[in-house]
Chain A
Amino acid sequence: MAEPVTVDDDAREDELALVRALRGRERGAFDRLYALHQERIWAFLLRLTGRRDEASDLFQETWLAASRHADGLEENSRLLPWLYTIARNKHRNARRFLLFDLRKRELSAMEPEPERMDVEDEIEARERAATLQRAFYELPDASREVLLLVTIDGMTSADASVVLGLKEDAVRKRLSRARAELTDAMARMERKRAPAGAVRRT
């Protein structure tokens, strides 16, 4: 899991100083913001879309929007949730008028790297990772978002509620539902993969 999105007091002080610099549009402030968070935003968008070309466009739109609206930050804003919110909104806007999306996900071409293990176990692990990846992309956008933010990025429910525009309680419910959906999708695919009457134990 990525390093959790938590901040100690010193880090929070640094963040608030950067917020002030961004609000004042100080020279160099934007470069600091970009250096700190570009990789996380890229990872979020690439995982959310599953496509490099789409993620690249959204990445650019996200940072351009951030550069335009930086002076509208609140004094006590949290920067990463703010950036995730912009990225998520860009993704939702891009998909708003897309009824059917038949473009191929590219993440499947990126082989997960299992830990060192026996050949048989490694094959099993690769198959399971591929199944998990396909199951993930069968989920609705809302479920993928909450899984990426909370499960992979380690965001707190409070921060995720800011990004998703929900109450904390609703975030927890959505996360629970997303996990159940992922489980169902996994099980469905496992059944297809396994020979009739012999569902493989995992």
Chain B
Amino acid sequence: MTEERSERDAADGVGPRELERALPVEPIDASLRMRVQRAARASFERREERSVFFWQDALVPGTLLVAGVFYAAGALQKLVEIFG
């Protein structure tokens, strides 16, 4: 048999079912399935809560930012008084 013929024969036999059977899938491990579900669900629901309580999340960093700006402005004013 020629190489060309052998290649054509090989092609004829590879159907979807044969490919699927050549690549068998072990079922997903139960502990992995549950662990992933828990983690992903927690992530999904955390974002739900974040959208409701966003202003609370922003309260502390926002206050710190405003305080920092005032502090920096005061420090700058002092420097101007000393060197200016």
**A interface residues with partner B (beta carbon < 8 Å):** 1-2, 25, 27, 29-31, 34, 38-39, 42-43, 46-47, 52, 56, 59-60, 63-64, 66-68, 70-71, 107, 110-114, 128-130, 132-133, 136, 147, 151-152, 154, 179-180, 182-184, 186-187, 190-191, 199, 201-202
Contact of B13 among A107, A111, A202 (CB under 8 A): A202
Residue A34 contacts which of B11, B35, B37, B45 (CB distance < 8 angstroms)? B37
B22 close to A38 (CB less than 8 A): no
Q: Are A1 and B20 in contact (CB under 8 A)?
A: yes
A-B contact pairs, 23 of them (CB 8 A): A25-B47, A30-B41, A30-B45, A31-B37, A39-B27, A42-B25, A46-B25, A67-B44, A107-B23, A130-B22, A132-B19, A132-B22, A136-B22, A136-B23, A147-B19, A152-B19, A179-B14, A183-B7, A186-B10, A187-B7, A187-B10, A201-B1, A201-B6
Going nearest first, the 6 A-B pairs with the smallest beta carbon separation are: A187-B7, A183-B11, A132-B22, A67-B44, A186-B10, A25-B48
- On chain B, the residues within 8 Å of A47 by CB distance are 23, 25
Q: Is the interface of A mostly helix, strand, loop or mixed?
A: helix
Q: Which residues of A are found within 8 Å of B11, using beta-carbon distances?
A: 179-180, 183, 186-187
| Count class of interface residues, chain B | 35 or more
Q: What residue of chain A has the Cβ atom nearest to residue B35's Cβ?
A: A60
Binding site for A on B (CB under 8 A): 1, 3, 6-7, 9-14, 16-29, 32-33, 35-37, 39-41, 43-45, 47-48, 51
Report whether A186 and B16 are in contact in the complex, using a CB–CB cutoff of 8 Å. no
Q: Which of B3, B6, B29, B43 contacts A67 (CB 8 A)?
A: B43
B22 CB contact (under 8 Å) in A30, A39, A112: A112
Bound CA–CA A25/B39 (angstroms): 15
Alpha-carbon gap, A84 to B40, bound state (A): 16
Q: Is there contact, CB below 8 Å, between A39 and B47?
A: no
A66-B40 CB under 8 A given contacts A25-B47, A110-B24, A152-B20:
yes
A182 to B25, CA, bound (A): 20
Report the Cα distance A71→B46, complex, angstroms.
13
**Bound complex: CA A157 to CA B44 (Å):** 31
What CA separation (Å) do A65 and B67 show in the bound complex? 36
Q: How many Å from the CB of B4 to the closest CB on chain A?
A: 9
- In whole angstroms, what is the CA distance A68 to B51 when docked? 12
